[in-house]
């Protein structure tokens, strides 16, 4: 049973300026609820109530939203790093226990968390099988395993898109964080999944789980935010009907 989660929420959301000029992206409201507040509530509903959030940009606003419902760690270098560095800041938060890892700028169907919790394997990425565009965090797979996760993957070679949600067992997390530790000195601006290819080449088994047709969106651009709000409206209408 998984009771822990690590959420990275330190980024500046530069691609959403001016919307994120003075507001951290995870605090943006979709359906009247801040993204990160909704995510923490969904996790709690599924019994995941020990949540650590890595903050940085405008962190006081995230702290005001979540209060003492979560624990906090700070990426002091958030202006010059990416989410790999934020993930590494949280490396000790869930020592010796399985946990879910999430990006903070997600709107997703709550059933996706149940899918994540059910997974076996030391490292499991949640993936939507779909035709991909250039900007999406694409994955290459073979025989049920992830070979690579990168925006630079050619769309024709991609199985689908990684959601920004993964499940880790302690052994898998240790291997993943060790690889991040070796990688960060090379570049502090890499994405968290930049270590996947190297791990796969060394024979580390990283599984994936399809989410089917469940709706979700990672919010990087204004059109993503608009789409998330459309999804939230549909969810509200379905609930009312």
**Quick one: which H or E segment has residue 2?**
none
Burial class (CB in 10 A: 0-12, 13-18, 19+), 3: middle
Range of the domain at 233: 4-240
Each residue's pLDDT tens digit, 27-50: 999 999 999 999 999 999 999 999
The conformational region for residue 40 under phi > 0 = left, psi -120 to 50 = alpha, else beta, is alpha
User: Does 131 have pLDDT greater than 90?
Assistant: yes
pLDDT grade, residue 17 (50/70/90)? Answer: confident
Query: Taking the model in full, what pTM does it have?
Result: 0.96
CATH code of 66's domain: 3.90.550.10
User: Does 203 have pLDDT greater than 90?
Assistant: yes
Predicted pLDDT at 32: 93
The residue among 240 and 161 whose pLDDT is bigger is 161
User: Does 239 have pLDDT greater than 80?
Assistant: no
Reading the block at residue 128, the tokens are 């939507």
**Quick one: which H or E segment has residue 53?**
strand 50-55
Please name which of 212, 11, 8 lies closest in space to residue 126, comparing C-alpha atoms.
212
Predicted pLDDT at 14: 84
pLDDT grade, residue 13 (50/70/90)? Answer: confident
pLDDT cut 90: percent of the chain above it: 88
Tell me phi and psi for residue 74, to 5 degrees.
-120, 130
CA distance 39 to 217: 13
Domain count along the chain: 1
Predicted pLDDT at 241: 62
Average per-residue pLDDT for the chain: 95
Torsion, CA 65, CA 68, CA 73, CA 77, rounded to 10: 30
Each residue's pLDDT tens digit, 47-103: 999 999 999 999 999 999 999 999 999 999 999 999 999 999 999 998 899 999 999
Residue reference for tokens 């509530």: 41
Q: H helices within 46-98, ranges in order?
A: 59-66, 83-89
CA distance 109 to 106: 10
The residue among 240 and 78 whose pLDDT is bigger is 78
């Amino acid at each position: 049973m998984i009771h822990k989660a690590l959420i990275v929420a330190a980024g500046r959301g530069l691609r959403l300026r001016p919307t994120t000029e003075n507001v951290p992206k995870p605090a943006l409201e979709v359906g009247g609820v801040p993204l990160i507040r909704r995510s923490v509530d969904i996790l709690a509903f599924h019994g995941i109530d020990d949540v650590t959030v890595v903050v940085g940009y405008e962190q006081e606003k995230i702290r005001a939203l979540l209060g003492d419902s979560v624990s906090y760690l700070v990426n002091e270098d958030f202006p010059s790093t990416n989410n790999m560095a934020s993930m590494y800041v949280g490396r000790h938060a869930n020592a010796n226990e399985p946990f879910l890892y999430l990006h903070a700028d997600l709107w997703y169907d709550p059933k996706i968390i149940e899918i994540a919790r059910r997974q076996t394997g030391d490292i499991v990425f949640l993936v939507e099988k779909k035709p991909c565009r250039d900007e999406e965090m694409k994955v290459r797979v073979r025989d049920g395993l992830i070979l690579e996760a990168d925006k630079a993957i050619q769309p024709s070679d991609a199985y689908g898109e990684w959601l920004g949600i993964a499940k880790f067992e302690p052994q898998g997390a240790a291997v993943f964080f060790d690889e991040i530790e070796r990688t960060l000195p090379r570049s502090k601006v890499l994405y968290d999944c930049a270590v996947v290819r190297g791990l796969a080449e060394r024979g580390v088994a990283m599984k994936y789980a399809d989410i089917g047709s469940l709706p979700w969106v990672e919010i990087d651009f204004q059109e993503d935010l608009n789409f998330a709000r459309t999804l939230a409206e549909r969810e509200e209408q379905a609930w009312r009907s």
